[in-house]
Structure 1
Amino acid sequence: MYVSVRGIPPGTRSGGRVPRVVVVLGLVSLITDVSTEMVAVVLPLFATLALGLTPVAYGLLDGLYQGATVLMRLAGGLFADRLRRPKLVAGTGYALGAAAKLMLLPVGGAGALSAAVAADRMGKGLRTAPRDQLIAAAGPHDRLGRSFGVHRALDATGALLGPLVAFGLLALAPGDFDMVFVVSFCVAVLGVLLFVHRVPEHPAAGHRVPERRTPVSLGDVTALLRTSGFRRLLVAAAVLSAATISDGFLYLVLLRNGSVETRWFPLLFLCTSLVYLALAVPLGRTSDRLGRTRVFTAGYGLLLCAYLTAVLAGGPAGALLCLMFLGAYYAATDGVLPAAAAPLLPAELTATGISIVQAAVAGGRALGAVAFGAVWTATGSDVAMWTFAAALTAALLTALPMITQARHRRTEVR
């Protein structure tokens, strides 16, 4: 069958509010992100100060943080489509992420920390594609950007509150990372309970329901990879992600350059999330009107601005500008990418297709994290930043023609 790249069949344009399930999933993500970001904001300090990891060791850990989701993202999408039980698969991922928080309590070295981080990221990988499938199936395609924008805005609210909670706990008990991990686990359990009791297994009647009755096969996945529009979007996303620096590394660069003090480190995540929250819905709506691939590409241009600001503009003002660019990058890419991919996919393979794109992005970021840590160790933070700024520029020049062609092609899914 043929699916328009814009994904807006005649007669599907509609008004109305964002579907209820999208809001509920957003609240689940909000609670889960409070838990996750409580750990994420202290992880760079915990790894480099408490455990004494070097930049290259932290780069390997950060690569694991990004890369552990790759296979699980694929597994999550395949299982969700094969079993036609996206809620079951996503719920398993949420539960695994909650359990990983308890694994952090006895951590005393890099090996144990890596195992806990891997478990947490595997949970995230498992739940992401099925969750996004539930969002994509909940409403019409002409409003996907808005639906994903609302979900990501609620998600960003959790990312906003998480650093505040961690900052408050460490202010009450400086250096007590175990307390942060215990509270994080309790919050994660609340998210799991909300997901189990308030998210339906299948979308409301009248929306995009899979008609497939046979299991997903390797041939189906191969057919997806042969469709030109989807393939171009996939390759472009992977190329861009490989030139991406993780938030933790970018914040450590700001710390190393003297733009921020150590005591304010958890609040860097807060500022990024605040900008993300403010722009997620507006940029989601903009992507519905102007084109999702255009907004997605512009997001990586904003990330390049963040890189350049980190090395050229010092002091608190420079750090604030860097964080604004970083938050805008997330708002323009995080929800827009699955919204751009979903219309290119048949309903019965939506989770699989989204998981392939997200796995490619996670794999690229993992490679980027390891490479950045190695370059930093060999040459210093400033040279590493300039190297990745040049790499991102080259990636944008490579990906832009692919995305432009993907936007104008119609795709055939057999």
Structure 2
Amino acid sequence: MYLAEGRERPGRGSAADGTRPPGRVPSVVLALGAVSLLTDVSAEMVTAVLPLYLVAGLGLSPLGVGLVDGLQHGVTALVRILAGHAGDRWGRHKAVAGAGYALSALCKPLLLAAQGLASVGAVIALDRIGKGVRTAPRDALIAHASAPELRGRAFGVHRAMDTAGALLGPLLAFAVLLGTSDGAVAAPGAYDAVFTVSACVAALGLTVLVLFVPGRPVPGRETGAGAAGRPRLAEAAGLLRDRELRRITWCALWLGGCTVGDTFVYLLLQRRTGLSDGTFALLPPATAAVFLLLAAPLGRLADRLGRWRVFLCGHLALLGVYGLLLLSGAGSPVLLVAVPVLHGTFYAATDGVLMAAASARVPAALGGTGLALVQSAQALARFGASLAFGALWQARGDRFALAAAAVALVLAVAAAGRPRPSAPVPAARGGAR
């Protein structure tokens, strides 16, 4: 059975079984969105103050700060497939996702005791492992709970709620610092206050998961197949025998390798516009705000017009970002609006839509493993792309590096191909085109 096939839901559904009337997002997805919102509030509170804490609070060098930042981006890809497979093998995606959320929540109070590069780096690495553990099982829960023809909308609503947390987290951290600091300098206990509030919010998110997300077994596993029916990790490689899933994974890898990291986009935007250091911090929330507004509408559009088509169009928005940063002269004020809008549109059209498209090609018994496979390919490619872009920037300048990324992205989008101009895919196949 494929994730796309789902199960028949008699009647109009109820809160008890996590379904809603046809055309509406299931309550399970809304509950998982609330969990992600609270978890992102907690995570972004720490992210917002971490650079200042590392430099002003712990006195780390820029090299130490760079090492910690690298840990945040590189660790998650190492555990995604194992965590996704664990949820598949035991048929308990909620339990595996809960372990990831619990690990991240535990790391927040541990920051209170971390006093050096090694200890802070270890805590950050554990926090990112928690993120890697929870992502694929959580997305598998969303796919299992949603009707195939509404899966783009479901992932879009979840990503919108998740992004709302990313917007609220820095604001809450700012409020805590403002209330515990004296003047422009953070008081000695101000960072501890941020970490404490962050831990409480993370614990609240974990509580919502435990109380409001049902721990239903994977479809097809309710009949007590036992250990003999549990999928093996070796079967993950067999997933790529499916031509369409192999194509999706390959395209996620290639397109991810052409994606310039957010940090570089914002640094280039600052260079082109002369933005002050103080205002620079508003660029990520601006992108997140556009992502929040467009995630659900573009998810619905993907369900109607084809997920692969919307996914590729999202990369054209990213190409627009590259073009504006390449062709605009210094001091161009239009960039301050156009770049965040296009950047946020790119994420809204690709993040959840990719998972909706991949879920239509993944067997139910290997749902977490299959989605983690695509996620890991994309994450590793983006990590490599950031390293390559930084090296090109240092060797040949930022315009050369950006031009190379733009050319690579054009080739990748062209190679990804157009959707098949055939009749709409039946609901049993999830409408991924």
TM range (shorter): 0.7 to 0.9
- 236 and 405 in structure 1: CA distance in 2 versus 1, 3 angstrom threshold: farther
Distance in 1 (CA, whole Å) between partners of 2:195 and 2:357 is 36
Distance in 1 (CA, whole Å) between partners of 2:185 and 2:320 is 34
| AA in 1 matched with 2:376 | A
Is 2:263 aligned against 1:248? yes
Is 2:249 aligned against 1:234? yes
Give the superposition deviation at 1:260: 2.5
Distance in 2 (CA, whole Å) between partners of 1:345 and 1:380 is 42
- Maintained 8 Å contact 2:269/2:335: no
Distance in 2 (CA, whole Å) between partners of 1:367 and 1:256 is 23
Is 2:240 aligned against 1:221? no
- Maintained 8 Å contact 1:229/1:409: no
SS of the equivalent of 1:218 reads coil
Distance in 2 (CA, whole Å) between partners of 1:105 and 1:316 is 41
Is 2:200 aligned against 1:191? no
Q: Once the two structures are superposed, what CA deviation does each residue of 1:386-411 show, in whole Å capped at 9, x if it has no partner?
A: 3323332232233336x769999999
Distance in 2 (CA, whole Å) between partners of 1:196 and 1:10 is 24
Question: Map of 1:345-384 to 2, 5 A cutoff?
Answer: 345-384=362-401
- 384 and 362 in structure 1: CA distance in 2 versus 1, 3 angstrom threshold: same
Q: Once the two structures are superposed, what CA deviation does each residue of 1:86-115 show, in whole Å capped at 9, x if it has no partner?
A: 111001101111223344446666554443
1:271 corresponds, among 286, 300, 312, to 286
SS of the equivalent of 2:417 reads helix
- Maintained 8 Å contact 2:273/2:336: no
What are structure 2's unaligned runs of at least 5 residues? 11-20
| AA in 2 matched with 1:325 | L
| AA in 1 matched with 2:320 | C
Distance in 2 (CA, whole Å) between partners of 1:354 and 1:10 is 19
Identity of matched residues, %: 44
| AA in 2 matched with 1:137 | H
Number of the residue aligned with 2:155: 148
Distance in 2 (CA, whole Å) between partners of 1:52 and 1:76 is 34
Question: Map of 1:307-386 to 2, 5 A cutoff?
Answer: 307-313=322-328, 314-386=331-403
What is the Cα-based RMSD across aligned positions, in Å?
A: 3.4
Greater CA drift, 264-273 or 351-360: 264-273
Distance in 2 (CA, whole Å) between partners of 1:189 and 1:348 is 30
Q: Once the two structures are superposed, what CA deviation does each residue of 1:195-250 show, in whole Å capped at 9, x if it has no partner?
A: 122211017xxx95546641211342122111111011001001111122222332
User: Larger C-alpha radius of gyration, 1 or 2?
Assistant: 2
- 136 and 409 in structure 1: CA distance in 2 versus 1, 3 angstrom threshold: closer
- Maintained 8 Å contact 1:138/1:208: no
- Maintained 8 Å contact 1:92/1:126: yes
Number of the residue aligned with 1:20: 27
Distance in 1 (CA, whole Å) between partners of 2:358 and 2:423 is 11
- Maintained 8 Å contact 1:42/1:266: no
Is 2:90 aligned against 1:83? yes
| AA in 2 matched with 1:354 | L
Number of the residue aligned with 1:287: 302
Give the superposition deviation at 1:169: 4.1
Distance in 1 (CA, whole Å) between partners of 2:81 and 2:350 is 20
- 160 and 340 in structure 1: CA distance in 2 versus 1, 3 angstrom threshold: same
Number of the residue aligned with 1:162: 169
Give the superposition deviation at 1:271: 1.1
Greater CA drift, 352-361 or 256-265: 256-265
Distance in 2 (CA, whole Å) between partners of 1:281 and 1:182 is 32
| AA in 2 matched with 1:333 | T
Distance in 1 (CA, whole Å) between partners of 2:52 and 2:275 is 14
Distance in 1 (CA, whole Å) between partners of 2:284 and 2:105 is 21
| AA in 2 matched with 1:362 | A
Give the structure-2-normalised TM-score. Answer: 0.82
- 185 and 265 in structure 1: CA distance in 2 versus 1, 3 angstrom threshold: farther
Number of the residue aligned with 1:40: 47
Greater CA drift, 376-385 or 81-90: 376-385
Give the superposition deviation at 1:342: 0.8
- 20 and 115 in structure 1: CA distance in 2 versus 1, 3 angstrom threshold: same
Q: Once the two structures are superposed, what CA deviation does each residue of 1:27-76 show, in whole Å capped at 9, x if it has no partner?
A: 1111111112223344566668874426xx87765543232111211111
Give the structure-1-normalised TM-score. Answer: 0.85
More helix per residue: 1
Greater CA drift, 59-68 or 269-278: 59-68
- Maintained 8 Å contact 1:66/1:363: no
- 118 and 52 in structure 1: CA distance in 2 versus 1, 3 angstrom threshold: same
- 171 and 244 in structure 1: CA distance in 2 versus 1, 3 angstrom threshold: farther
Give the superposition deviation at 1:77: 0.5
- Maintained 8 Å contact 2:81/2:369: yes
- Maintained 8 Å contact 2:273/2:335: no
Paired positions, count: 403
- Maintained 8 Å contact 2:98/2:209: yes
Distance in 2 (CA, whole Å) between partners of 1:78 and 1:9 is 19
Distance in 2 (CA, whole Å) between partners of 1:113 and 1:300 is 35
Q: Once the two structures are superposed, what CA deviation does each residue of 1:331-369 show, in whole Å capped at 9, x if it has no partner?
A: 111111111011111111111100111111111111122
Give the superposition deviation at 1:120: 1.9
